[in-house]
Amino acid sequence: MAHTVSVRRTQAAGGSFCHAPALLRLMLVAVLAAALTSLNILVAPQAHAADVLVTPTAETTPVPSSSDAADDTAIWIHPTDPSQSVVIGTDKLSTGGVGVYDLSGRQLHFYLHGSMNNVDLRYNFPLGSERTALVGVTERNVESTGVRFYKVNVADRSLTEVGRISTPGRPRGFGMYHSPVSGKYYAFVHDFNTNVITQFELDGSNGSVRGTAVRSFDNGDSSEGISADDELQRLYVSEEKVGLWRYGAEPGDGSTRTLVDRTVATGGRIVENVKNSAIYYGRQGTGYLVVSSQGGSNFVIYNRGDNAFVGSFKITDGGGVDGVNGQDGIDVANFPLGPSYPAGLFTSHDHNNTNAGNGNSGNQNHKLVSWQRIADAFSPRLLVDATFDPRQIGAAGGGGDPGPDTAQPNTSIAGGPSGTSSSTLAEFTFTATEPGTFECALDGGAFEGHSKS
């Protein structure tokens, strides 16, 4: 019997099989040729029993110092040409400093400023009469300890020192925060000697960065990982042998905290030591919290909103680049950074840099991985949302979140039966500018439900 089939797209929810009633079952295979600037998947993946495996895209030039030297990274997004963005990485030994690398891993600049440990950055910091991308790095040199600040020079992607905050003890963990409440910028610094974390309010009004302590709290034990969610006003701090904690990020939030997850040794999912964390931003509070599990040589992912466990992944050898093990610092950016990173970039320190075919080996370095590779390796696929622009955090009247997606997608049937068909199986191919759900009906009847493919 021949039937007329009607198909409609209903919502952005991923590809599906469409089941028609009675004798005819139509298999709709949604092949989504998506425009990566508008992808947005809001279905949280289920927990995975084993690590998902991904391969790196590139790796940086090794750091100058041998032994356990490289540590942390921060991703700076170029204001007009994202393909010219850079990775800023640290070398924490006395012969080290701060390196700037392009997206192929090539070293552009290196500043021999000594023992530089953890790094973070924020955009649109008011420095004198200008707004600039501000980079902060904890330094633990014999002659000076604290945080050293740099601004990014767009023309040649170099760094210029613009101030310091002196801190007692041995600064280690570090993170920055822009408050959506007050519009102020803050820095969080962990003291390795006391395990006290101090929050500094940053001021650049005179053209040099200064800091005033506005809050402090005891984190219990050693911490190297500090990251802040600038929209949800949260602060994430690792406690290496215990787990990952969530605090409020505002100065008046005190020391109240919630344990996001424990180490495996204490009944959780993170293999100690718990190291750095990073925020993958999506619109409307979606996205992920990614945590570096040093003992597992893997990365554990949680939902950004409720911090529910999503899954974990490892970076393995591939494409001539070796994988990652024993890592410390990480960072992630959701924004498209050119053809090699169309859905964003994930970076990680690598403890053992070996030659996997490209000749890069010896001293430690940092690995670069396309977020698209990570997202595609999970089933269901992880969120890919390129609409949130972190460069807009702190901008006049701005924020990175563009708000709800109200634009209508472009959808078309790219292939399928021509005219009527008596077959019991009809296969259709769709293209769309974002993932979606498709429904079908026979002979003008009611549209039927669907199941995930």
Per-residue pLDDT averaged across 219-234, rounded?
96
Question: Tens digits of per-residue pLDDT, 236-278?
Answer: 999 999 999 999 999 999 999 999 999 999 999 999 999 999 9
The answer to whether 199 touches 213, Cβ cutoff 8 Å, is: yes
Closest CA to 329 of 383, 362, 290: 290
Domains (ranges, CATH) in the chain? Answer: 5-33+412-441 (no CATH), 52-392 (2.120.10.30)
Strand ranges of the sheet holding 86-91, from the earlier edge strand across to the other edge: 70-76, 86-91, 97-101, 107-111
How far is residue 208's CA from residue 195's CA, in Å, rounded to a whole number?
A: 28
Please state, rounded to an integer, the average pLDDT across all residues of the chain.
86
Q: Is the pLDDT of residue 4 over 70?
A: no
pTM above 0.85, yes or no: no
pLDDT at residue 413, rounded to an integer:
67
Measured between alpha carbons, how far is residue 248 from residues 23, 197, 228 in Å?
57, 13, 9
Per-residue pLDDT averaged across 351-367, rounded?
95
Which residues are 137's β-sheet partners?
119, 148
- In the block, which residue shows the tokens 């020079």? 153
The answer to whether 131 touches 112, Cβ cutoff 8 Å, is: no
pLDDT at residue 442, rounded to an integer:
59
Per-residue pLDDT averaged across 176-196, rounded?
97
Closest CA to 79 of 25, 8, 154: 154
If you ran DSSP here, which 8-state letter would residue 270 be given? B
The answer to whether 384 touches 39, Cβ cutoff 8 Å, is: yes
Higher-confidence position of 68 and 24: 68
Strands 171-178 and 185-191: antiparallel
Question: Tens digits of per-residue pLDDT, 287-335?
Answer: 999 999 999 999 999 999 999 999 999 999 999 999 999 999 999 999 9
The answer to whether 91 touches 64, Cβ cutoff 8 Å, is: yes
Closest CA to 331 of 84, 122, 104, 44: 122
Strands (E), 208-344: 210-218, 226-229, 234-239, 243-248, 257-262, 274-281, 287-293, 298-303, 309-315, 330-333
Q: Is the pLDDT of residue 402 over 60?
A: yes
Closest CA to 302 of 250, 245, 239, 345: 245
- 108-147 burial, b for 16+ CB within 10 Å, e for fewer? ebbbebbbbbbbbbbbbbbbeeeebbbbbbbbbeeeebbb
Which residues are 201's β-sheet partners?
186, 212
116: part of which helix (H) or strand (E)?
strand 116-127
Q: Is the pLDDT of residue 443 over 70?
A: no
pLDDT at residue 36, rounded to an integer:
31
Strands 330-333 and 58-59: unpaired
Q: Is the pLDDT of residue 11 over 70?
A: no
Percent of the chain with pLDDT over 90: 74
